[in-house]
Structure 1
Amino acid sequence: MHALIEIEQGEITARDLGARLRLEKSSVSRMLRKLVASGELQESPGKGDGRVKMLSLTAAGKQRVAAIHDFARAQVIGALERLTPGQGQVVLEGMQLYTQALDITSGIPDRSLDIVQGYRPGIIARITDMHALYYSRESGFGQRFESVVASGLAEFCNRLENPGNAIWTARLGGQIVGSVVIDGQDMGENVAHLRWFILSDEARGGGVGKKLLDAALSFVDERDFTETHLWTFSGLHAARNLYETRNFVLAEERPGEQWGKEVLEQRFVRPRP
């Protein structure tokens, strides 16, 4: 039921679904096969990459989800009708506390999210660690990639006094769970370079990436950069979808081996609004 309700929202892949449900890839694959076989789910090629399978409900799937919503709604309405106004307020406060306790975007007791601009002790090591762990698992990158990230980030932090450069970290309970950088110098010609955009596993799927990216782009627009560029590589579909919602457009593709493994590098460009 949870899977069907998530798929109902639209624009979701198997990987996205696994992240939202906190399930391993093999478990998601088995579940999706069963839903396709039951006629409640269909898969279609992604718009930007035919290798990506987008999930959507069939007519039977939509009927099943509608029945789930109807059943749940009837249960809630029936229960609330038996409460006095004072009891309803108690339930509301309890549900708010329960929601906070169920917040699976973080295992940290203090779940307050802060987007913090500027250098803080340990920032270089933590951002490098998030990159190394994620891209080792997802893309097979190794020591060379980690070294490139660490050295490049260290060099950038030595230039933070420049008013066109900035770094942001997302913090949950005081722990860094995401980062993004605007380098206003290295590309020249009044072009902003968006770099080192990363989230840790516990922060994925909770809107943290959107808040980080929006903070960086607000900085870009305030300083009137002509364009914003970013380099990534093919296969990072969730990130690409997020970039494209912020008006980034794919401008260039080329094979590259700078990370220690050949990938199809991609350059995205966002013009000044």
Structure 2
Amino acid sequence: MESSIQQRVTEIRKFNRFYTNIIGLVNQNVLESPYSLAEARVLLEIDAAATCTASNLAEILQIDPGYLSRILRRFKKDGLIETTKSMTDGRSQILNITEKGRATFRQLSDASSSQLIRLLELLPQGAQQTLVQNMAAIQDMLSGQTDTSITIRRHRPGDVGYIAYRHGVLYEKEYELDHRFEKYVLQSLIAYLEDPSRGEIWVAECCGAIVGFIGIVGISERTAQLRWFLIEPDFRGGGLGRKLVSTVMEYCQQKYYNHVFLWTFKGLDAARHLYQSFGFTLTEEKENDTWNNQLIEQRWDVMLGVN
């Protein structure tokens, strides 16, 4: 575990050095004017705030008060801001941006944007979108909003083949199931595609990458089977599985199914606890030597309160 953490720390520090160099490149462009990106951000906050003091800025920008004070003195000397005494606190001064300050900020902002546009134009459109999505994911994760970076959608063309592929890869790696299991999954998905009106498949994405999926297929008018439930290893344990199962169960309620069942393997304790939390109970166990000689299949059922 420790080695994994240290490896991640190393990768983060590597990214920080790389990104700092990129920001430095942008900053050099802005430095063709007399002001830096840090100073441009101070101007932006003064302009955006209805009422702004130096202490407000220091808190918002998390900037050293002494460094901020030097920036503000320079701005006042250059005519970019003006100050007035606070009506509520005689010790504080309200900062206001001047017309010259607004014009200066627009120049700085335009220069920075032009440099970023030139950087983006080096990338294909798809790569640009991936870059922006990944940046948003970093913000969400480091601000404690991990859930917002994961979206759940209905399946689209191409997803079904990928679902079979990931089942084949992960189940071989984790449970030593061979190509016969992948064939079984693929055949069940093909059967679904022949009549997709009988059910639905949902796909979870993070930063444009598929990280999980789940499906439901109607077996009869009142009975449905939960199928193709898989979460990528790096995304397990964070609540995504519960969200996907909740999505399926809500769908079953809407479609007036009163009985849902699923087949899984013995020994998947995390999945078992999840199913039990939704009311599923173990109803059948049987040996299955088709894919693995030591495999015990389990059937879980739940009755829904649907009239």
Question: What range is the shorter-chain TM-score in?
Answer: 0.5 to 0.7
| Contact map agreement 2:214 2:228 (CA 8 A) in 1 | yes
Please provide the CA RMSD for this pair.
3.1
Cα distance between partner residues in 2 of 1:198 and 1:232 = 11
Preserved CA contact (<8 Å) 2:140 2:149: no
Contact 2:223/2:257 (CA < 8 Å) preserved in 1?
Answer: yes
Matching residue within 179, 183, 191 for 2:223: 191
What residue number does 2:186 align with?
150
**SS of 1:206's equivalent?**
coil
What is the one-letter code of the residue matched to 1:203? F
Contact 2:284 2:298 (C-alpha < 8 Å) held by counterparts: yes
Q: CA deviation at 1:263?
A: 1.1
Pairs within 5 Å for 1:107-146: 112-117=149-154, 119-146=155-182
Aligned AA (1:124):
V
Give the whole-Å Cα distance in 2 for the aligned partners of 1:159 and 1:105.
38
Give the secondary-structure state (helix, strand or coil) at the position aligned to 1:211: helix
Identity among equivalent pairs (%): 31
User: Which residue of the other structure, out of 131, 140, 145, is the alignment partner of 1:100?
Assistant: 140
What residue in structure 2 maps to residue 272 of structure 1? Answer: 304
Select which of 152, 166, 170 maps to 2:200.
166
C-alpha separation in 2, matches of 1:179 and 1:195 = 9
Q: Larger radius of gyration, structure 1 or 2?
A: 2
Deviation at residue 226 of structure 1 after TM alignment: 1.6
- Asked if 2 retains the 8 angstrom alpha-carbon contact of 1:130 and 1:199, the reply is no
- Superposed, 1:42-61 pairs within 5 Å as none
Q: CA deviation at 1:237?
A: 1.0
1:208 and 1:22 map into 2 onto residues whose CA distance is: 26
| 1:228, distance to aligned residue in structure 2 (A) | 0.7
| Equivalent residue, structure 2, for 1:253 | 285
Q: What letter matches 1:116 in structure 2?
A: R
For the residue of structure 1 that corresponds to 2:214, the secondary structure is strand
- Relative to structure 1, the CA distance from residue 101 to residue 269 in structure 2 (aligned partners, 3 Å threshold; closer, same or farther) is closer
Aligned to 1:237: 269
**Cα distance in 2 between the residues matched to 1:241 and 1:116:** 25
Q: Kindly state the Cα deviation for residue 269 of structure 1 after the two structures are TM-superposed.
A: 0.8
- Report the CA distance shift for 1:216/1:270 in structure 2 as closer, same or farther (over 3 A): same
Does the 8 A contact of 1:113 with 1:171 survive in 2? Answer: yes
* TM-score, structure 1 normalization: 0.59
Contact residue 144 and residue 260 of structure 1 kept, 8 A: no
Cα distance change on mapping 1:99 and 1:160 into 2, 3 Å: same
Q: Say whether residues 1:205 and 2:237 are aligned partners.
A: yes
Aligned length: 183
Q: Which amino acid aligns with 1:112?
A: S
State the alpha-carbon separation in 1 of the partners of residues 161 and 178 from structure 2: 16
**TM-score where L is the length of structure 2:** 0.53
Structure 1 residue 258, shift from structure 2 partner:
3.4
Which runs of no fewer than 5 residues in structure 2 stay unpaired? Answer: 6-54, 63-135
Shift of the 140–104 alpha-carbon distance from structure 1 to 2, 3 Å rule, reads: farther
Offset at residue 142 of structure 1 (A): 0.9
Deviations 1:214-248 (A, max 9, x none): 10110011112121100001011111111111111
Amino acid at match of 1:174: G
Tell me, in whole angstroms, the C-alpha distance in 2 between the residues paired with 1:23 and 1:179. Answer: 27
Q: Secondary structure at the match of 1:224?
A: coil
Q: Secondary structure at the match of 1:114?
A: strand
Once the two structures are TM-superposed, the CA of residue 272 in structure 1 deviates from its matched residue by: 0.5
Deviations for 1:128-147, whole angstroms, at most 9, x for unmatched residues?
12212221122110111111
